[in-house]
Copies of this chain bind each other. A is one copy, B any other.
Amino acid sequence: MPFYSKRDLEFQLFENLLVMELTRHTYFHDHTKEVFNMVLEAADQIAENYLKPILTEMDRKEPKLVDGKIKVHEGMKTIIRQFGENGWINATFPYDEGGQQLPTTLHMASGFIFQAANYSASVYPFLTTGAANLIRTFGNKELIEKFTPNMYTGKWQGTMALTEPDAGSSLSDISTTAYPTEKEGVYLIKGQKVYISCGDHDACENIIHLMLARIHGAPAGVKGISLFVVPQKRIPCGESNDVLTEGIYHKMGYKGAPIVHLMIGSNNGSEGFLVGEPHNGLSYMFQMMNEARIGVGLNATAIATAAYQASLAYAKERPQGRKIGEKDLSKPQIPIIQHADVKRMLLFQKAITEGSLALLLYCSKLSDIAHAAEEPEKEQAALLLDFLTPIAKSYPSEMCCLSTSAALQILGGAGYTTDFPIEQYYREARIHPIHEGTTGIHGLDLLGRKVLMKGGKALHLFGKEIATTILDAREINSLISYADTLEKYLGKAQQTTAHLLSKAGIKTEEFLADASLYLEYNGILTIAWQWLKQAIIAQEQLDKGNPEKSFYQGKIMCLRYFFEYELVKMDALGKRLVSPDMPTLDMHEEWF
């Protein structure tokens, strides 16, 4: 059974995003379409041969803490080695660092394949990439040479160690402390970290934590946070670095990846190496977090894509009921895909997952442009990416929970059983609105920060990009009405934003009270835009008589579905966002 659509992934990369354009830039110059296709094919092979086969098993046989060490599914050793040997971990890094200068867009597209095959398994190498990227970007030569080579081969695992018992959404309250030693750049770390993904396991020989801590005496708040490399075992001798695994979290889903509670320096023996400048840790970390946030949106999309494919296959095969109005019960039952309500649930999933994938790969391409292009293109791409990040993290995360729920509903009782993978997808989807910043945090980020930044320049750019798509759509007869509709909603959204901004700095609590709804509101607008973009290409191909009529018709139908069933939700949200009534502010704790 397919767990994603190869055809759609190709469409997104080569027809919708025109990813080959990236090879104009020196950094990506050597690549060809053949290379990209080989990359995707290689990802597909690993996913099919190594990740997919143990999807269910990794859920059923959870990692265990045995004698202070986490034991994970034995298949993970092979998988991580595969990732290392085939160069996936440092694929996007420069040639002179052993990388392949692969565009992030291709790396994310490959990641999408891995995540759709087995989300838990996909997490390990991606974390290592992110951690290594922090060291190579902000660390000195010594740190780079000491840590990254074994991370690239998959011998060592990388992590992001941020969260503490009292500092989850509120990172400014981090209290893990770094005490200077006599050796420059070397500190003794003391504290604890919770919810650390892959924070300990036996599929790698060492765990390299990229850890936020406060240098003793540093100022309070985010301005006093520094970034350290804290290995689990000291290098090169391999003795314990006093990073102890205190416990493992048992989770609803995503069980194959261990999430652990770490005690650091309980015996005063935890060495940490400062990365970059003191007190600059959070800004470094945000580089990785922004990438990770696009990654989370993609994880959610990949899981929902696998659920969509499973429910589609089921709907084609499962006979139940007859056409509305059919009274002759001697006729055989029809496959449920012929029922309007089932088609609605399938269209919903297709529209959410393919719309989200389009957005996330678009963001990845912006990241590549921001990295490799010249000014002013570079700055514009970075600005737009910054604006879109909370949307690209949250809309797919939230909606893919509903999308997997629709997949489960299509299977009825069967979907609720462990006989099908969908219940696992449903459980795995639910983490994404939480990790890498909850939806609430991203709402505040979008409205309280991104909309305002650089005098509203990013917001303006966002509107301009949508307007360009609207103009393009007007060139195609059958899309004119959709262009008009999107223009109307864009205009409304701009009015809504202006209304909210009139409260900024004056009634700050009111301004931000419904930031989560504002995020959802803009999420819908953004995905509607992505569907109009895709429909332009599809309609052009249909008009040209492209023989792949079914594929392109599917795109047009999603446009219709999204505008009819999803875009209209902006009406309700918009009405709420400009309403003067503020029940969430007026509510008292004791009234609950």
Asked whether, in the complex, the Cβ of A413 is within 8 Å of the Cβ of B426, the reply is no
Asked whether, in the complex, the Cβ of A412 is within 8 Å of the Cβ of B251, the reply is no
Asked whether, in the complex, the Cβ of A514 is within 8 Å of the Cβ of B427, the reply is no
Across the interface, A333 reaches (CB within 8 A) one of B170, B250, B517, namely: B170
When distances are taken between beta carbons in the complex, the residues of chain B under 8 Å from A591 are 550-551, 553-554, 557
Asked whether, in the complex, the Cβ of B333 is within 8 Å of the Cβ of A416, the reply is no
Asked whether, in the complex, the Cβ of A564 is within 8 Å of the Cβ of B583, the reply is yes
When distances are taken between beta carbons in the complex, the residues of chain B under 8 Å from A194 are 413
Question: Which has the most chain B C-beta neighbours within 10 Å: A325, A417, A509?
Answer: A417
Q: Is A380 an interface residue (CB 8 A)?
A: no
Asked whether, in the complex, the Cβ of A416 is within 8 Å of the Cβ of B430, the reply is yes
Nearest-CB distance from A481 to chain B (Å)?
A: 10
Nearest-CB distance from A517 to chain B (Å)?
A: 8
Asked whether, in the complex, the Cβ of B341 is within 8 Å of the Cβ of A592, the reply is no
Asked whether, in the complex, the Cβ of A571 is within 8 Å of the Cβ of B561, the reply is no
Q: Is A575 an interface residue (CB 8 A)?
A: yes
Q: Mark A486-520, 1 if CB is under 8 A from B, else 0.
A: 00000000000000000000001100111111000
Q: Which residues between 266 and 321 of chain A lie within 8 Å of chain B, taking CB atoms?
A: 312, 316, 319-321
When distances are taken between beta carbons in the complex, the residues of chain B under 8 Å from A569 are 569, 572
When distances are taken between beta carbons in the complex, the residues of chain B under 8 Å from A561 are 583-584
A509 to B315, CA, bound (A): 19
Stretch at the interface among A23-31, A41-49, A401-409: A401-409
Asked whether, in the complex, the Cβ of A312 is within 8 Å of the Cβ of B350, the reply is no
Interface size on A, residues (CB 8 A): 100
Specify the chain B residue showing the minimal Cβ separation from A335: B589
Q: Mark A565-592, 1 if CB is under 8 A from B, else 0.
A: 1001111110110010101111111111
Q: Is A220 an interface residue (CB 8 A)?
A: yes
A333 to B565, CA, bound (A): 41
| This chain's copy number in the assembly | 2
Q: Which residues between 404 and 447 of chain A lie within 8 Å of chain B, taking CB atoms?
A: 405, 408-409, 412-413, 415-419, 423, 426-427, 430-431, 433-435, 438-440, 443
When distances are taken between beta carbons in the complex, the residues of chain B under 8 Å from A586 are 557, 560
Q: Is A127 an interface residue (CB 8 A)?
A: no
Specify the chain B residue showing the minimal Cβ separation from A511: B324
Asked whether, in the complex, the Cβ of A433 is within 8 Å of the Cβ of B419, the reply is no
Q: Is A330 an interface residue (CB 8 A)?
A: yes
Query: Do most interface residues of chain A lie in helix, strand or loop, or is the interface mixed?
Result: helix
Given A252-B416, A252-B426, A341-B440, A575:B568 Cβ within 8 A: yes
Q: Is A338 an interface residue (CB 8 A)?
A: yes
Across the interface, A419 reaches (CB within 8 A) one of B249, B329, B412, B516, namely: B249
A512 to B541, CA, bound (A): 33
A418 to B250, CA, bound (A): 6
Q: Is A339 an interface residue (CB 8 A)?
A: yes
Asked whether, in the complex, the Cβ of A433 is within 8 Å of the Cβ of B409, the reply is yes
Asked whether, in the complex, the Cβ of B508 is within 8 Å of the Cβ of A324, the reply is yes
When distances are taken between beta carbons in the complex, the residues of chain B under 8 Å from A584 are 340-341, 343-344, 347, 561
Nearest-CB distance from A395 to chain B (Å)?
A: 15
A581 to B485, CA, bound (A): 14
Given contacts A342-B440, A570-B572, 15 further A-B contacts (CB under 8 A): A166-B333, A169-B412, A170-B322, A221-B329, A249-B417, A251-B417, A316-B589, A341-B443, A341-B515, A412-B438, A416-B430, A517-B565, A550-B591, A554-B591, A568-B573
**Closest 6 interchain pairs by CB?**
A252-B423, A554-B591, A340-B513, A568-B572, A341-B440, A250-B418
Identify 6 residue pairs between A and B in the complex whose beta-carbon atoms are under 8 Å apart, listed by A's number.
A166-B319, A337-B592, A340-B585, A344-B516, A550-B590, A554-B591
